[in-house]
Each structure stands twice: as structure tokens, then as C-alpha cells.
Structure 1
């Protein structure tokens, strides 16, 4: 939600973020050398200092929790190897310095610090200048309706000179619509570089390509060229430009993934099918590509697309199954023959056994749909059935 504060409220909110993040940096300095970084353990040592700096009780606790969560996230990234192996230059650099927060970084507030007046489109929030009441916010009617299901914390975010509130909304998930017990009850989704997503069409003889790589790939190449040019310059203004470009590119990828996932879920909902998506987790470590394709593979957010398809399908009551993509591109969906020679080019699939030929991505999508049907039935067979009640004697 975008806030619409008065100039006085804007100054108070900005000062509040500055004080909260200054306190968070103090806590982070202590937590860097502490052996126990749990929120309650940190609170014993830094709570009095935060109170003396001007923070009230509940905001001080939220600051401590924010720091503890940041260190937990960093440790998870270190454990998963996202910063390189132990002993590497990047790993050592990350471990050797405390976490620091920007002056106006986001700050979480619970219901004691921030309350919503949905009928008036205002919020009441704690600040260093006291409790601000009647801070307006603007949103679409459908967002206002969703706010009635809001639960938990709200994050105050300052970006590009404007304040926003990120609110978490919990809605009831409808009961899943079980697809027909046959392979046609599943929509297969093949993800790739040239074609971001290809689905099994309503007519199996047709090709249903979603966001082929033409315009998307061209724009990504232009972004890469500009990014490389700015990196070579290396000046402060170039770095500021790079930061702005990074946000713009991230928004572009997210927008394309939202459009793509929305169309896929709408197609499955229209045809009453479940969705089978190939799981590309770890593909960067498994697949060897030409140099020109590496940047395309490594820069597209396939995990984000998968997550968007999953939560949108669940909201629509559609089951989603993740499929191992191994050999789905080289196996004939008609006869089951698997051979590298079945795919003479990126776009063409020609089975050496039965002679079927067609688009390679469409063939892979049909294989994924069949595996979705198979895996779903296997998973359902392992679910224990409810016990039959004994008849009354």
C-alpha cells in the first residue's frame, strides 16, 4: 500500500526509520561476536541501550528480531553455498564483517506499533514524534477488500522518495479440484531459454508457446550490453545508474513471470486440468551450455516463475506437481523411445523409432503432462484412507 503522508508525517516516518536502523546496526555489531543470536538472548544485552536511544519497548523488540532474522538468513546462505565454499574470498569477506542496515531500510511493525483503519483508508503508526494518526494510504478497491484478511506484521518501506506498507494477507485456499483420472487431465509446462514456457495445447496437434524468446531475449541482450558498458566506466554515477537498472530489470522479469503464470493457470482452470511443471532446481550445476546461452539461463528467475504458478494454482484449487526434467526433451511421448538423436535441432523432434516429428518443446510438455498424471496417482495411492466406522452392535 502506498502511503500519502503530509510533509510533517513524512519527516516523522523518515526519522523513525533512521533511528530504527541505527539501533539495528548497534545490535548487529554486538550479534557479530555473540555466540547466541536468538532474539531473546540479544534482548538481554541490547534492550536497555535501544530504550535509551529513544525507541519504545515494542519497536525495540522488532529491531532485535529484524537483526536476528538477518543473521539467520545469512547463515542459511553460507550453509547452502550461496556465497561460495568455506575459505573462499567472498565467503571470508561475508563472515568477517557484521551485517549493516541502510539508513532508511525497511522496518517491521506489529499490531501494537501500527494499526489499520480500513474503512477510513488510514493507518496509525508509532514514530519518534509520537503516535501518528490518520496517515492516509491509497490502493485499488480489490486491495482494500484483501486487507480485511490481513494478519501479522506490516513492513514500512521507503523507496524512491515514497513510503509503502507491505502487508501480509492470509486467504482460505479452496478445496483442490481433482483432475480426471487420465493423462489428458494434466497440463504440461516445459520451461526453457528460447521459449520461456511451452504448454500442452487444447488440441494436442497444436503448439502453444508462451513468451517465445524473441522480444524478451532482445531486451535482455540490450540490458546486458548497457550493464557491461556501465561496469567498465566504474564511476559513482555509473554505479548509481547500475543500481537503477538492476531494479528495472528485476521488475521486468517479475512482470513477465506474473503474466506467464497467470496465463498458464487460466488455461488449466478453463480446461479443468492439474499443472505439471518441470523442476529446474540445480540446473545451473547440472547443465553445460555454450557461452552465449549461460547468461540467459543464469539470469532468468525460473524458481520465481515456478513459485508463482504454484501459489496461483493453489488459490484456484488446482493441484500442481513438480517433475524431474531428466530425458523429457529426448523421449518420444508417443512410443517412449529415448535417444539423443531424436532431437536433431533445438526446435525439431524426430523419433528414430516410430517416426513421429514435431516441435521439441511441445513433445517435452506432453512428456511432463504424462509424468504429472503418473506421479499424482502414485502420491494419491500412498495417502492412507480414512478408517471405516464400525457398525453399531
Structure 2
């Protein structure tokens, strides 16, 4: 199977090259907004052939210095953005109250309407300067892969870069896709999609099942087929988060120009720290279990963490400052590279179901003591461990042939 990663290549342009980068990214941004308006006015039905007929020559006259291939790329850039918005609208349908009351529950009846691009009132606006480069046409590696050759307005320049890890990718005959030139603060990066061939995970070859429960008190609690449980405590992470929050509060209270500069640097430092923690956690898991492993995670969308020992302000900050999705993404691509798989399952009842007898009772879980005590069979353990054990069970069901394993409220003890 193929796996696509994004290599973020740091560029080191001269002052003259920086001016050329700014010019080409702003011009590309301007043309994308023109194409976005055209795509919006055409009711989102235009394809590449229609673009070639209606817009290509107009844009070439509008921007004669921009490379012809990059003019063609504006359509693909715009269409990709609209496709992303289309998916987001579909995933979040419009819900409204019908005004009717359910006779059994006494609650209001709500209905959902799927949303399409027609719900947009105005075209998508590209706020950030950028430029897309096609490999081989607009960018290439030259001088024994020590520099990158890039098209700008009316010319082509060679820029040094730093990305030591690219040597391994070139050694695997990786396929490079359409790159994106962006500026992050004062630095310039070329984001290059890299597609490599990896061995595909197969159910029949699977050797390990690992249930992974994620939370705030315990960042991860894992349970495997050997009955082993491992806790990754979140105390140090929580302390670091609170430290960053305290520094932000002090700098925001100061309100000076210097404080604002420190706030920007602090934000970047915190993001890098969070990504590094998730990187190390996911790497540890993949290296420990090796190939042919099924990692089972719960979908955390609309899931609330009941941490009653925290204040409401602290709890909200923690939930919004810790990137559970980033950990999921990193574990997914690392697992695929090692011929393993990540399975996402419903989180429903995973913290309420007894792993031994299967009974589901909300009151069995004691949040204050972090305990789970089954009133039906007497099974007792840590409440986070229960979640990991239930996720492990869903992994077993998946390997047994159930493509969408989940727990139902149909076996409640009397």
C-alpha cells in the first residue's frame, strides 16, 4: 500500500529571494481568489477543461510573469479547498427543532438536513499568501540535492534548504507530489507530499491487539492480549500546561510590544513541545509492539472528560490545549509504516461496561477514586484500565469479522 507524508523543508533564501517569494505567493493568492469567485459563480460544477476554456488565457493575460503550470495549479488549489469545505459541511448537518414533542420521552424532536456547498453565501477567500509547485515542472532538487530550484515571477532561482531526513526518503524511491510554499513567521518552508510504498496490514497476520484509552489524568492507558496494563501518567504534562498558561496570563496582562513578541514565541514553543510528546508516545508504542499490531482507539468527538477534581477553568484549558487528534494522526502513520493498523471505534459505554461480565452500569465507575466496581460480578480495577480493556475487546470483535464493533445497551444487570 502507499503512504503519504508531508515533509516540511526549511528554506534559507537571501534577502533578494525573500522578496521574490513574497511577490509570487501574493500573486498566486490573488489568482486563487479570482478562480474561487469564478468557481462559486459557476455553482461548483466546473472541471479542468472548463477552467482551461474560460479562465486560463484570462489569467495568463492577468499575470504574464507567473509560470503557466502554476496558473493551471490555481484551479486544483481552489477545487481542493472547496472539496474540503464540502466534506466539513456534510459532517456537520444543519439541525433544527421541529416544534414537535416526543410522547414517550417528552423531549423536543430534532431533525437534520445534509448541507452542501450551496449553503455558502460567498466564495471561499484565500487569506494567506501561498504558491503551489508541481514536482519536475516548478520545483526540483539540484546540485546533488543540496539546493531546490523554484519558479518565481519571471525567473527560476536556487535556494539552499535543510532536511536531513530526505535522504532516507530518496533511498526508498519516494514519489514527490505538488508542494506548497508558505511563510511561517519570518521563516520560509516548502511542504512536500511524499508517497512511499509500505507493506499492508492484514487481519490474518495480526499478532497483537492493543486497547488505548486516552484522557487527561492518564494520557494513555494501554491493555494488550497478554493482559498487561501500562499507564502513561499525565502529571508532568499537566504541570507543563499550567506553566505555559501562567506565562501567557502574565504576558497578556503586561500588554507591551515586548510581551506580545514573547507570546508569539511561547505559542510556537508550546506547540512544538506538544507535538514532541505525542511523537515520543506514538513512537514508543509502535517500536514496542512491532509489526502486525492492531491499535484500538476510541473516537473522542463529542466526548467529555469528567475531571471533577479540577476547576472548570482548568478543565476547559486542558481539553483545548492538549491535542488528542495529533496523537491519533502520529500513531496512525507510524503504525502503517510498520505494517500495523489503527482502528477507530465508538467510545460509547467503554468506560461503563464491565470487561468481565459485560454488564453496563454508569454508577459502577467512581470518578473521585478512579475506580470501577462492578455491582453484578464484583470485578474491581482502575477506571482508565476498564476503558483500555473494553477497547481491546472491540479489537477482538473486529478481527473476528465485525467491521463496526461497538457496545450496545442491551445487557444491563437487574
Superposition TM-score tier, normalisation by shorter sequence = 0.7 to 0.9
Structure-2 separation of matches of 1:190 and 1:176:
22
Contact 2:209 2:225 in 1 (8 A): no
Structure number with higher helix proportion: 1
* Match among 67, 71, 82 for residue 71 of structure 1: 82
> Unpaired runs of 5+ in structure 1?
381-393
Cα 1:83–1:232 change in 2 (3 A) is: farther
Distance 1:242 1:226, change over 3 A: same
- Paired with 1:244 and 1:46, the residues of 2 have a C-alpha distance of 42
Structure 2 residue aligned with 1:4: 12
Question: Once the 2 structures are TM-superposed, how far is the Cα of residue 163 of structure 1 from its aligned partner?
Answer: 2.1
Which of 288, 296, 300 is residue 276 of structure 1 equivalent to?
A: 296
Distance in 1, matches of 2:279 and 2:93, equals: 26
Cα pair 1:108 1:156 within 8 Å, conserved: yes
Q: How does 1:316-355 map to 2 (within 5 A)?
A: 316-346=338-368, 347-355=370-378
Counterpart-to-counterpart distance in 1, 2:150 and 2:47: 23
- For 2:182, the equivalent position in structure 1 comes to 157
Q: Which residue of 2 aligns with 1:215?
A: 236
Partner of 2:166: 143
Question: For residues 118 and 371 of structure 1, do their structure 2 counterparts lie closer, same or farther at Cα, with a shift above 3 Å needed?
Answer: farther
8 Å Cα contact 2:354/2:360 also seen in 1: yes
SS of 1:50's partner is helix
- Change in Cα spacing, 1:360 to 1:289, as seen in structure 2 (3 Å) is closer
1:330–1:340 contact (8 Å) kept in structure 2:
yes
How far residue 149 of structure 1 moved from its aligned partner, in angstroms, is 0.5
Partner of 1:122: 147
- Residues 82, 42 of structure 1: CA spacing in aligned structure 2 closer, same or farther, 3 A cutoff? farther
Cα shift at 1:309: 1.8
- Alignment map for 1:307-318 (pairs within 5 Å): 307-318=329-340
Equivalent residue in structure 2 for 1:62, among 49, 64, 73: 73
How far apart, in 2, do the equivalents of 1:83 and 1:2 lie? 41
Supply the distance in 2 between the matched residues of 1:137 and 1:236 (Cα, whole angstroms): 32
Structure 1 residues 169 and 180: CA distance shift in structure 2, 3 A:
closer
Assess if the C-alpha contact under 8 Å between 2:208 and 2:225 holds in 1: no
Give the secondary structure class of the aligned counterpart of 1:165: strand
- The alignment partner of 1:262 has SS state of helix
Aligned-pair CA distance for 1:146: 0.5
Q: CA 1:84 to 1:100, structure 2 compared with 1: closer, same or farther past 3 Å?
A: farther
Alpha carbons of structure 1 residues 106 and 240: separation in structure 2 relative to 1, 3 Å: farther
Shift of 1:34: 4.0
- Aligned partner (choices 60, 73, 85) of residue 51 of structure 1: 60
Q: Return the alpha-carbon distance in structure 1 between the equivalents of residues 40 and 362 of structure 2.
A: 52
Map 1:244-283 to 2 at 5 A: 245-269=266-290, 273-283=293-303
Query: Residues of 1 paired with 2:204 and 2:159: CA distance?
Result: 47
- Per-residue CA deviations over 1:327-360 (Å, capped at 9, x if unaligned) read 2222222333332232223521222233332211
Partner of 1:16: 24
- 1:235/1:19 CA distance change after superposition, 3 Å: farther
Find the counterpart in structure 2 of residue 187 from structure 1. 210
Moved more, 150-159 or 346-355: 346-355
Kindly state the Cα deviation for residue 379 of structure 1 after the two structures are TM-superposed.
4.3
Deviation at 1:139, TM superposition (A): 1.7
Change (3 A) 1:144 1:225: same
Task: Tell me, yes or no, if the aligned pair for 2:295 and 2:342 is still in contact at 8 Å.
Answer: yes
- Between the aligned partners of 2:15 and 2:126, the Cα distance in structure 1 is 28
Pairing 1:100-119 to 2, within 5 Å after superposition: 100-102=126-128, 105-111=129-135, 112-117=137-142, 119=144
The count of corresponding residues between Structure 1 and Structure 2 is 365
CA distance, structure 1, for counterparts of residue 34 and residue 252 of structure 2 = 33
How far apart, in 2, do the equivalents of 1:28 and 1:153 lie? 19
TM-score (norm 1): 0.77
| Separation of aligned partners in 2, 1:242 and 1:42 | 44
Q: Provide the residue aligned with 2:106 in structure 1.
A: none
1:18 shift after superposition: 2.5
1:306 and 2:328 equivalent? yes
Gaps of 5+ in 2: 1-8, 97-111, 404-414
